[in-house]
Amino acid sequence: MIFNIIAAIVIIFYIVFIFFIIRAFYSIEKEKREKKEITMNCWYCRNELIWGGDHTFEDYGIDGEGIVSNLSCPKCEADVEIYKKFDDVEEEKKKEKKNDTNKSNL
C-alpha cells in the first residue's frame, strides 16, 4: 500500500517535471522566434549581423540623449553603429530603466 502511494507521488513528480521542461523549451523557442524578427543584414555581404551592445550618446561624447547600437558581421567583419536619438516616449522608458538599474545596484 505504502509503495503504491510512493509510486504515485513519484509519477506525479515526473509529470510535473516533464511539464516544466516542455514549457521551458517552448518559451526558449518563442524567444528565439521573437528575436529572429528583429534582425539586420550586412550592407556588404548580406549576412545576418550580430548585436554587440548599446551605449548612450554620453558614452560617445555626443550632445543630446540617444542610443548607439553596435552590430558586427561575423562573415566579412564589418562593424555597424546605429545612432538613434530618443524621442519623448523613449526618453521616459530610458529614465525608468535607469531608475530600475539604480535600484538593483543598491
Binding part of the chain for Zn ion, among 8-16, 28-36, 57-65, 67-75 by CB under 5 A, reads: 67-75
Distance of CA 85 to the CA centre of its chain: 21
Site membership for Zn ion, residue 18 (CB under 5 A): no
Look at the block and give the residue holding cell 509503495. 3
Burial of 73 (0-12, 13-18, 19+ CB in 10 A): buried
Nearer to Zn ion, 71 or 73 (CB): 73
Binding part of the chain for Zn ion, among 20-28, 57-65, 68-76, 83-91 by CB under 5 A, reads: 68-76
Site membership for Zn ion, residue 45 (CB under 5 A): yes
C-alpha dihedral sign at 92, 41, 73, 44:
negative
Site membership for Zn ion, residue 76 (CB under 5 A): yes
Site membership for Zn ion, residue 42 (CB under 5 A): yes
Contact 69, 51 (CB under 8 A): yes
β-strands 50-56, 79-85: how paired? Answer: unpaired
Site membership for Zn ion, residue 40 (CB under 5 A): no
CB 82 → Zn ion: shortest distance, Å? 15
Interacting residues toward Zn ion by CB under 5 A: 42, 44-45, 47, 73, 75-76, 78
